[in-house]
Amino acid sequence: MKVIRAKSAGFCWGVERAVQVAREEAQGGQKRVYTDGPLIHNSQMMKALSSEDIREVGDYNSQSQIDIAPSNEKDSVVVVRAHGISPERRKYLKQLGLPFRDGTCPDVGIIAGKIKLHAEKGFHVVIFGDPEHPEVIGLLGYANEKGHVVSHADDIESLPALNGKIALVSQSTMFTHEFKEVAQQLKERFEEVVVFDTICGATKERQSDLILLVEQGAEVIVVIGGKHSANTRKLAKLATAQGRPTFHIETSKDLDPNVLSNYQIAGVTAGASTPEFIIREVCEVLEQIETKI
């Protein structure tokens, strides 16, 4: 089988930075690193990091209390996940009494800054995103109780009457065309709306590259990434929308050679939290599949 790999497949710079921060603190396992929830949304990478004594504690949404047992063997440090956390969560983590490092993606930090600034100016803040996603939960904490989350353009009608100015931002991993629809609906209902397109460049690049795979002749699309990864799920949804059979997998073990042998050309992309070793292995397995056509 011929394999076409998207240029943008794999770690984005924000994820790469978070992993680097954790590894710097761990010093090859000399220190113990606790991440508040999964550092990134890829269980295979988190398992690999565990060999360096980088441990996930807490829960997926970074909301539960953390019980960290003191270690007499080595020093410990708390590292904030790439998705960021709320100010209240930050205060709680610092009160644990351990050294603290922030692995928040700088792009997410910019969104948080815009929300905080405009909330302090009296704006209502509307966040386009998944209300259950840890990034959105963290961002909402900067809105000073002036925040509202919408997942679809249709949700605009369910918003309460918001008097005064409104600032619209987006979770960093959403679809650009859906964000535009939300912005249009918001402007039609409310008079004073300021729009900030905060979908990150890495997300936009992945979405564009996926469409390019189809244009290059990919008959089937394989999207690699964690099942909890928002940007990976978005890629799989976009691939399906292009009219191509789509398989969202986590590792090469999830591939079905019998089904995939019905296609000659496979397009491969991956979410921003998918490590290179998994992408490379998937491509190698696909290339070994003998097509029936």
pLDDT tens by residue, 200-255? 999 999 999 999 999 999 999 999 999 888 899 999 999 999 999 999 999 999 99
Please give the positions annotated as active site: 135
In this structure, CATH architecture of domain 13-104? 3-Layer(aba) Sandwich (3.40)
Token readout for 172 is 């960093």
pLDDT at 213: 97
Task: Please give the single-letter amino acid code of residue 266.
Answer: A
Q: Which residues of 97-241 form beta strands (DSSP E)?
A: 100-102, 124-128, 147-150, 166-170, 193-195, 220-224
Domain ranges of the chain: 2-10+201-287, 13-104, 107-195
pLDDT at 62: 86
In this chain, the answer to whether the domains covering 2-10+201-287 and 107-195 adopt an identical fold is: yes
DSSP calls for 93-106 = HHTT-S-EEE---H
**Closest to 79 (Cα-Cα) out of 61, 100, 58, 95:** 100
pLDDT at 70: 66
Say if domain 2-10+201-287 classifies as CATH 3.40.50.1110. no
CA dihedral 49, 54, 55, 61 (to 10 degrees): -80
What is the average per-residue pLDDT within 45-65? Answer: 91
Task: Tell me the per-residue pLDDT of 66-116, one tens digit each, with 9 for 90 and over.
Answer: 888 766 678 999 999 999 999 999 999 999 989 999 999 999 999 999 999
pLDDT at 228: 85
pLDDT at 61: 87
Number of C-beta neighbours around residue 225 at 10 A:
27
d(CA 248, CA 156): 30
Token readout for 157 is 């009608």
Q: Is the pLDDT of residue 156 over 70?
A: yes
In this structure, CATH architecture of domain 107-195? 3-Layer(aba) Sandwich (3.40)
Q: Map 173-196 to HEC letters.
A: CCCHHHHHHHHHHHHHHCCCEEEC
Q: Decide: 176 and 200 in contact? Cβ < 8 Å.
A: no
d(CA 108, CA 127): 13
pLDDT band at 60 (very low <50, low <70, confident <90, very high): confident
pLDDT at 71: 66
pLDDT at 117: 98
Q: Is the pLDDT of residue 144 over 90?
A: yes
pLDDT band at 27 (very low <50, low <70, confident <90, very high): very high
What is the average per-residue pLDDT within 151-174? Answer: 96
Token readout for 245 is 């059979």
